[in-house]
Structure 1
Amino acid sequence: MNREVPRFDRRRLLGAAAVGAAAAPFLTGPAGASVEPASPVGPGRVVTTGADRAAADGWSTLAGERVGIITNPTGVLRNLRNIVDEMHESGAVQIAGVFGPEHGFRGTAQAGGSEGTFVDERTGLTVYDAYGANVTKMKELFTAADVETVVFDIQDVGARFYTYIWTMWTAMQAAVATDKRFVVLDRPNPVGGTARGPMMTAAYTSGVGAREIVQQHGMSVGELARYFDGELLEEHAGGRLAQLDIVQVSGWKRKTLFADTGLDFVLPSPNMPTSDTALAYPGTCMFEGTNLSEGRGTTKPFELIGAPFVDHRWAEALEAAELPGVTFREAYFNPSVNKHAGKVCGGVQVTIQDHDRFDPVRSGVEMLVTAKALYPEFAWRQDSWDTVRPFWIDKLTGSTRMRTQIDAGATGDEVEAAWREELAAFDATRRQYLLYR
């Protein structure tokens, strides 16, 4: 297969060559080789996304190819304009089609929804509905648009059950089958570069965890694409990508959280309003698998958790656990939609006090353990449409293990201990695919 680095305007970039190893490469191919160095990042400079770097180079890395773009409202440049609008107006990119994930290209759909296929009023481009598409459907969409190169640019939030990475995974499989070049315009992982939590198992894969990675994967989407290509595509797609290229972020380090990047946080979905929401999400999203509200229909989704049967004792028990980097304020709220809509819920507000010490997955486990122990009304959500795997928590956590441990009275420490070995193995494997050290 052809794995050559694509052409782009070297003259524009060679002026930065003297920066040396302190700069991140402009574009990385499958072997991880630096193609061109970036501008230096020093005191007072901010993180620059892959999209901004590609735009600054006149989109030359995409020149002469029919491009299909998978993106949504987070695919913005520093000026907060969407990359599709900018590419279209520049005339430098031949856009064959746009592909909308969950919530849609323009971001108008709620959880579990999409905008369908339509002609975008602003650009006149066809936007194809890619949410929930399997590989066969994605291949059909690429063929319908006559795509040569697939571009992915979406701000992920770093959790396995956030569906955008699985749209990327499906698109990568379709790209293998149709011999397409795949390009990721990379963005920082807003919750940092640390991997946490249990591993997905093959028996519990779904749209919220299509393949075996841990709950908080700790990678940028570019790094994750490299992991998929190196570890999973051969087995599940029959081969690797003909060409995978990552336009890298400059100025981002693995411990840098989104609030410190200097970038504007564009909400990736309707219930992900802030970067602090994203920090809590890998843990508190597990409450989707229970009969407690995860705060949808409030101004603090995934930070306000509760139910009509919860009282002050939950906050007291969680504070007594002295989890690092987080406090739990006794809180009462009335969700406008979703679980317990129109009912007063007792519960907690999760407040992150120390981002470096906070472990969202471990904190989420302690919240589940204490809620189960305190309230007989606590229950796991069951889905009638899946009689074989009815518990949503199993799909979120990757197996039946966490649910059965908690039901049996395990402590939070015991639950965490059960995944340490698999987490360590994943962490060791992923290191060869990391771009940011």
Structure 2
Amino acid sequence: MYFKQLLSILALSFTLVLTAATAGSAAPLTGQQADEVLPEPAKVRLGIDNLDRYLTVFQGKRVGLITNQTGMTSDFQSTIDVLNAKTRLVALFSPEHGIRGHVPAGAPVGSYVDESTGTPVYSLYGPTKKPTAAMLADVDILAFDMQDIGARFYTYMYTMAYAMQSAKENGKTFVVFDRPNPVGGTVVEGNIIQDGYESFIGMYPIPARHGLTIGELARLMNREYHIDCELVVIPMTGWQRSMYFADTRLPWVMTSPNIPTPDTALAYSGTGIFGGTNVSEGIGTTRPFELVGAPWLNAAELAGHMNAAGLPGVMFRPVYFTPRQPEVKYQGRLCGGVQLHVTDMAAYRPVRTGLTLLYVIKELSDGKFAFNQSATAATATIDIYTGDSNVRWGAPLAEILRQWDDTADQFQALSRQYYLYQ
């Protein structure tokens, strides 16, 4: 009896508290009303997701595909398997890191036969970077589906450019399945490649952070750099220029062993330039391009100078790290440095940040900082990252940043005519 009375009292108390808490307030939202207030964002559809709308392009054609592990639909179906099922797939072409992403950075990629499809795989990273006439003899359409990361010195866009040239020379149609720029499409940063500084990480006068999707890049390169191939871009649906990769609600697939996350991709367009120096860019750690340092740097001193610089959207934490991967800078040695923590993606400017970090490290290094000589180019490696020799010659930081801002603005004005998305 006592227990039943206690339950009644508790129920009445709960009703009174709930009534008091909601008195004078709006009625609770129904499920439908809540959805109207906070709509579920639509997932972006990739170019390859939209294949069925464009199957007439491939009808009766023999297809060659340039792809790697990032070439898949938004529900993880391999582009190789999709095209093999829906078109006449006769050849595969592999970029840097191999068709399955298993080859280390810079290592040659061999040719072989794909076990899954029995299709020949031709290497485009090694002695041959451009499809030959013999490779394309049985191909009518050369298609491209790989995730770019929005940085001029990432090689996938040049694999595409060489393939577009070969398509033109051999009378083939070139098809690009478009994908998001993971670092957004509204901000352009950095210097363009000047005459005499061209390489496989900078074939054309494009800024370090170009702000284009891979399909838009193809459109721009085809016209502005006079490739003039027969080009078809199969667009995405739902992508907007203001989107960073997390906004797309798409799964991220590592584009290469040292770009494990979209955050890495954002950092890379700024700290990638340390590949031209004797400073570790964090390769051989779990945070490549987000960790920067060297054995001769004082972590606290460097972090203090960088935080005092007032760079937007980023903070610097003093860290010590040891690169573990074989054959990387300072393998097995303790490095002092900083970790970049992005606090505001929209405000963050990775290229400005990376160059400022380089100048500060050089100033604090007590003469230990050095630029690397390129093994394959006539100039220092830093020059092919930055597009000219001004950084190596020690031009003032403010002067270089002003020049880079001007060239980035000019490129963005030029590139707008090739936009496929708002």
Which aligned pairs between 1:15-34 and structure 2 lie closer than 5 A?
Answer: none
Count of residue pairs the alignment pairs up: 379
8 Å CA contact retained: 1:223, 1:433 = yes
Please report how far the alpha carbon of residue 86 of structure 1 lies from its aligned counterpart in structure 2 after TM superposition. Answer: 2.4
> With structure 2 as the length reference, what TM-score do the two structures score?
0.87
Q: What is residue 263 of structure 1 aligned with on the other side?
A: 250
Q: Give, as a single letter, the amino acid of the residue that structure 2 aligns with 1:131.
A: Y
Q: Tell me, yes or no, if structure 1 residue 61 matches structure 2 residue 57.
A: yes
In the alignment, structure 1 residue 99 sits paired with structure 2 residue 99? no
Residue 209 of structure 1: SS of its match in structure 2? coil
- Residue equivalent to 1:354: 344
- From 209, 212, 233, the counterpart of 1:216: 209
Asked if the contact 1:101/1:164 (under 8 Å) is kept, the reply is yes
CA distance in 2, matches of 1:218, 1:204: 22
- Contact kept, 8 Å, 1:304 with 1:349, in 2: the verdict is yes
Q: Hey, what's the Cα distance between the residues in 1 that align with 2:53 and 2:282?
A: 42
1:228 maps to which residue?
Answer: 221
Residues in 1 aligned to 2:111 and 2:359: alpha-carbon distance in whole angstroms = 43
- Correspondence for 2:173 among 177, 181, 185: 181
2:194 counterpart of 1:201: yes
Q: Could you say which residue in structure 1 is the equivalent of 2:356?
A: 366
Task: Please state how far the C-alpha of 1:134 moved relative to its aligned partner.
Answer: 5.5
Q: Deviations over 1:35-84 (max 9, x none)?
A: xxxxxxx8531111000111x44844322111110000000112212110
| Gap runs ≥5 in structure 2 | 1-38
Contact 1:214 1:426 in 2 (8 A): yes
Q: Distance in 1 between matches of 2:161 and 2:384?
A: 17
CA distance in 2, matches of 1:403, 1:121: 47
1:117 corresponding residue in structure 2: 111
Q: What is the alpha-carbon root mean square deviation over aligned residues?
A: 1.6
Are the counterparts in 1 of residues 109 and 124 from structure 2 also a CA contact under 8 Å?
A: no
SS at match of 2:176: strand
**Does 2:62 match 1:70?**
no
Query: Deviations along 1:80-124, whole A, 9 cap, x unmatched?
Result: 121102222x2x211110000000111110101243100111111
The question of whether the paired residues in 1 share the 8 Å contact of 2:275 and 2:382 is answered with: yes
Determine if contact 1:100/1:114 at 8 Å carries over to the other structure. no
Q: Output one character per residue of 1:214-267: Cα deviation in whole Å (capped at 9) or x when no partner.
A: 11111001000000111002xxx5xx11x2111101111111000110000000
* 1:276 equivalent in alignment to 2:268: no
Alignment check: 8 A CA contact 2:150 2:183 kept:
yes
- Match 2:334 to one of 344, 350, 365: 344
CA offsets per residue over residues 298-319 of structure 1, 9 Å max, x none? 0000001111001121111001
How far apart are the structure 2 equivalents of 1:113 and 1:384? Answer: 14
Partner SS state of residue 403, structure 1: helix
> Is 1:190 paired with 2:182?
yes
The amino acid across from 1:77 in the alignment is: T
Q: Which residue of 2 aligns with 1:379?
A: 370
CA contact (8 A) 1:272 1:278 kept: yes
In 1, Cα distance between the equivalents of 2:159 and 2:290?
26
Q: How far 1:141 sits from its partner (Å)? A: 4.9
The one-letter amino acid of 1:392's match is T
How does 1:394-413 map onto structure 2 within 5 Å?
A: 394-404=383-393, 407-408=394-395, 410-411=396-397, 413=398
> Which amino acid in structure 1 is aligned with residue 67 of structure 2?
T
Task: List alignment gaps of at least 5 residues for structure 1.
Answer: 1-41
- The letter of the residue matching 2:167 is A
| Structure-1 separation of matches of 2:99 and 2:352 | 33
| Number of the residue aligned with 1:79 | 75
Structure 2 CA distance for aligned equivalents of residues 43 and 266 of structure 1: 23
Q: Identical aligned pairs, as a percentage?
A: 43
Residues 101, 130 of structure 1: 8 Å contact kept:
yes
Runs of 4+ in structure 1 deviating by more than 6 angstroms, as ranges, are none
Q: State the 1:381 CA deviation.
A: 1.1
Which of 1 and 2 has greater Rg?
A: 2
Match of 2:48 in 1: 51
Partner residue of 1:330? 318
Question: What is aligned with 2:282?
Answer: 295
> With structure 1 as the length reference, what TM-score do the two structures score?
0.84
Q: Tell me if the contact between 1:149 and 1:182 (Cα under 8 Å) persists in the aligned partners.
A: yes
Match of 1:21 in 2: none
2:191 aligned counterpart, secondary structure: strand
Give the distance between the partners of 2:50 and 2:419, measured in 1 at CA. 19
Could you tell me which of 152, 155, 176 is aligned with 1:160? 152
- 1:141-193 deviations in Å (ceiling 9; x for gaps): 5335x111010100000001100000000001111111111110000000011
Label 1:249 to 1:385 Cα distance change in 2 as closer, same or farther (>3 A): closer
Distance in 2 (CA, whole Å) between partners of 1:100 and 1:114 is: 11
Shift of 1:421: 2.5
Rate the CA distance shift 1:58–1:174 in 2: closer, same or farther, 3 A.
closer
